[in-house]
């Protein structure tokens, strides 16, 4: 079970494994020629592909209506629901569920959670256009656009189990210290990593997951056999 993160030296512990934020610092310093700040380039905030076009259109509309933060909050709520519900994940990703079934299911979900307005209409449009499978990526890219607009750094942390609000705040604070700017942090749950954390800041990633540690250990044992 994922334990409460606690400082261990330069990192953050989860499941008994330390996450070393200095790895991100060193990677940024190598490119930027500085110490203590993550070197951020234009690639940090690039959005692309079909999901990027949808996210950009939504972002422009949200700005025009002065609802960017409200839309982001609604999308984060939806992203959390998708992560926590295998049935909802299957609904948005399955190619065999037809448009009408997806539309009815998503309309019912949005009504149940009270997700209306710009964000709700956007989700219904995405469903109608048979692009629901791209919704998680659209949300991620909308977060990047909002971060860029506010002068923040977009980041994402992946854990095997959901992090508590206190854990998320700890990760956000440590990342802000590393990059020297405010951080807009998204979270993902992926049981496949088994434990530990995977942290991505812009195009940089530090993988401190148990899955990767076991894989590296297995390779080391093979080399020494």
pTM score: 0.66
**Same-domain check for residues 121 and 66:** yes
**Which tokens hold the place of 12?**
């953050």
* pLDDT value of position 156: 86
How far apart are alpha carbons 86 and 97 in whole angstroms? 15
| Segment (H or E) for 155 | strand 153-159
Last residue of a domain, one of 115, 142, 169: 142
Q: With 90 as the cut, is the pLDDT of residue 199 above it?
A: no
Q: Which residue has the higher pLDDT, 104 or 162?
A: 104
CATH number at residue 136: 1.10.520.20
Query: Residues 50-77: pLDDT tens digits?
Result: 999 999 999 999 999 999 999 999 999 9
| Segment (H or E) for 184 | strand 183-189
CATH number at residue 194: 3.30.2320
Residues of the domain holding 194: 8-29+152-224
Q: Number of structural domains, the chain? A: 2
Instruction: Please compute the mean of the pLDDT values over residues 69-96 and round it to a whole number.
Output: 91
* pLDDT value of position 28: 45
**Same-domain check for residues 125 and 59:** yes
**φ, ψ at 159 (rounded to 5°):** -135, 160
In Å, what is the CA distance from 67 to each residue of 61, 63, 119, 144? Answer: 8, 6, 10, 16
Instruction: Please compute the mean of the pLDDT values over residues 14-27 and round it to a whole number.
Output: 49
**Same-domain check for residues 55 and 98:** yes
Q: Which residue has the higher pLDDT, 68 or 13?
A: 68
DSSP-based three-state secondary structure for 7? strand
Residue 79 lies in a domain: yes
Last residue of a domain, one of 87, 117, 142: 142
How far apart are alpha carbons 61 and 38 in whole angstroms? 31
**Same-domain check for residues 25 and 102:** no
Last residue of a domain, one of 142, 177, 193: 142
* pLDDT value of position 197: 86
Q: DSSP labels for 40-82?
A: --GGGG---HHHHHHHHHHHHHHHHTT-HHHHHHHHHHHHHHH
């Amino acid at each position: 079970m994922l334990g409460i993160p606690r400082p261990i030296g330069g990192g953050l512990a989860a499941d008994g494994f330390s996450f070393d934020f200095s790895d991100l610092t060193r990677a940024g310093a190598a490119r930027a020629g500085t110490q203590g700040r993550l070197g951020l380039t234009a690639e940090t905030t690039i959005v692309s592909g079909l999901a990027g076009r949808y996210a950009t259109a939504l972002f422009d509309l949200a700005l025009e209506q002065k609802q960017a933060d409200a839309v982001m909050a609604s999308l984060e709520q939806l992203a959390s629901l998708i992560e926590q519900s295998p049935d909802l994940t299957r609904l948005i990703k399955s190619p065999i569920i037809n448009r009408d079934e997806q539309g009815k299911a998503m309309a019912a979900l949005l009504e149940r959670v009270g997700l209306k307005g710009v964000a709700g209409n956007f989700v219904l449009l995405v469903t109608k256009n048979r692009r629901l499978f791209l919704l998680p990526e659209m949300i991620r890219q909308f977060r990047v656009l909002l971060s860029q607009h506010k002068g923040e750094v977009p980041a994402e942390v992946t854990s095997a189990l959901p992090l508590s609000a206190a854990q998320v705040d700890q990760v956000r604070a440590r990342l802000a210290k590393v990059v020297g700017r405010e951080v807009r942090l998204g979270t993902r749950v992926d049981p496949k990593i088994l434990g530990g954390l995977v942290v991505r800041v812009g195009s940089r990633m530090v993988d401190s997951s148990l899955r990767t540690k076991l894989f590296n250990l297995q390779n080391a044992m093979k080399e020494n056999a």
